[in-house]
Amino acid sequence: MPKTLLEKVVFTIVMATIMVYGMIVYNVALNTGGVTNATFLMALHEMPIMVPVACILEFFVVEKLATALAFTFMRPTDRPQFITYAISLMIVAIMCPVMSLVATVLFKEPSFGMWVHTWGCNMPMALCWQMLYCGPLSRFIFRLVFRRGKAENPAA
């Protein structure tokens, strides 16, 4: 996974873009009563706002905090993929309420109740989207872009 600053920046942008787009599509579908072809286009309108917010939060705050939280119940000697899963879970646990708050303030009638409702609706989808689709796809794209030799990355 990312080792250099450039790799971390690229990985964060890829992960945030895929995650944010999926969650915006989900929220547009909730707000419009279902998924249509137009849902995927409507979701693009929020991307220029939400992707930079997610990237900045993830890169400067959440990744470090999520890693620290994951290592409260994981050990460095645990299987690397389980450490990755634990960090991903912690990232969702932090990012979902924060991004739900940002979306509530920017795109909805802001109130505490609306934020809690948005967060509650988003959390199950964010967990599933991250663990089953976004995370694996982002890691696959990262491995394609930053190919490493077998000695450096035995799983490649």
Helix axes 80-107, 135-145, angle to 10 degrees: 110
User: How high is the pLDDT of residue 155?
Assistant: 52
- Residue 86 structure tokens: 């634990």
DSSP symbol at 147:
-
119: how many CB neighbours lie within 10 A of its CB? 18
The predicted-structure confidence for 72-130, as pLDDT tens digits, reads as follows: 999 999 999 999 999 999 999 999 999 999 999 999 999 999 999 999 999 999 999 99
pLDDT for 156 beyond 80? no
The predicted-structure confidence for 15-34, as pLDDT tens digits, reads as follows: 999 999 999 999 999 999 99
pLDDT for 151 beyond 60? no
- Cα–Cα distance between 67 and 89 in angstroms, integer? 10
Q: What is the pTM of this model?
A: 0.89
- Cα–Cα distance between 53 and 109 in angstroms, integer? 20
